[in-house]
Structure 1
């Protein structure tokens, strides 16, 4: 594997990417985790939690977000790597905030926006909800894949989805009202 690429740290896109990486590290979420690869800051890997109340609940899904050299002025490409029953694997997904829709991308959006947007597209039905890269499989298969997704290991990161995004600790229970 090649070593890290040298970047012009004065480039506004590189500055933006580094700032987003710092922000995501400092502001940990229980819904997703994301970071650029050491060898290429334009290539991000993220793990997202399947949306609650859907057939994806309990699942953990690993995605790749590729930022263009013109980022943040051009939209990223997003590909799902974990079998999921909603998106084709390793294929660029056509949704409103990806490189398929450059005219809709806003430079104020970022990697976090793309991750949250991707998560919101999981439960939408039909190919109209997601053009290229969207698939429909039966609910029971999506639930089966959600269960299997937790132990899926990224061939690049060498980390399971569960290692990347463990379940949040349960909130401590409150004593019933009126108890001292």
Structure 2
């Protein structure tokens, strides 16, 4: 009898392993690319969990958020980059609710718009770009006054 282990290429376990391997490989590459902070953002995975990242973004210049530094988390699915991340802001900012998954075209609220070519860097830049836009009717959005947002940015 042949003692060599056989793998069924149609096995769900094998598919999960392939997706997980691809995700880990991609995330390790992104971690290397993002190891140095920029003037706009910083991001890094947790030491013990490559699928949870912490980040900071600076408020966009010439907006109510200018001067603010905002801390958040990115939770990535094991199927990343084929499926989008969850994005959670932890710092009060007047645009997005804190400690809740926010609804953006680059988040898991809109998997139909996610592109596998996008990355954590893309998500951070999109988050910065979305900050000064109106949040009418979207999940996790807030509509504070400009004065309230400027006060939060200074804090």
Aligned residue number for residue 60 of structure 1:
69
The one of 124, 148, 155 equivalent to 1:141 is 148
Q: TM-score, normalised by structure 2?
A: 0.85
What's 2:8 paired with? none
Residue in 2 that maps onto 1:14: 24
Mapped partners of 1:139, 1:29: distance in 2: 26
Q: Which runs of 5+ in 1 are unaligned?
A: 1-7, 149-180
Distance 1:145 1:32 in 2: 18
- TM-score scaled by structure 1? 0.74
What is the distance in 2 between the residues matched to 1:135 and 1:127? 8
User: Gapped runs of 5+ residues in structure 2?
Assistant: 1-17
Q: Distance in 2 between matches of 1:100 and 1:31?
A: 24
CA-based RMSD of the aligned residues comes to 1.6
SS of the counterpart of 2:109?
helix
> How many positions carry a matched residue from both structures?
138
* 1:124 CA displacement: 0.4
Q: Match of 1:175?
A: none
Encode CA deviations 1:89-122: one digit per residue, 9 max, x unaligned. 0101111010011111011101000000000010
Distance 1:63 1:126 in 2: 18
Question: Alignment partner of 2:93: what SS?
Answer: coil
* Deviation for aligned residue 1:21: 0.2
Q: Does 1:94 align with 2:129?
A: no
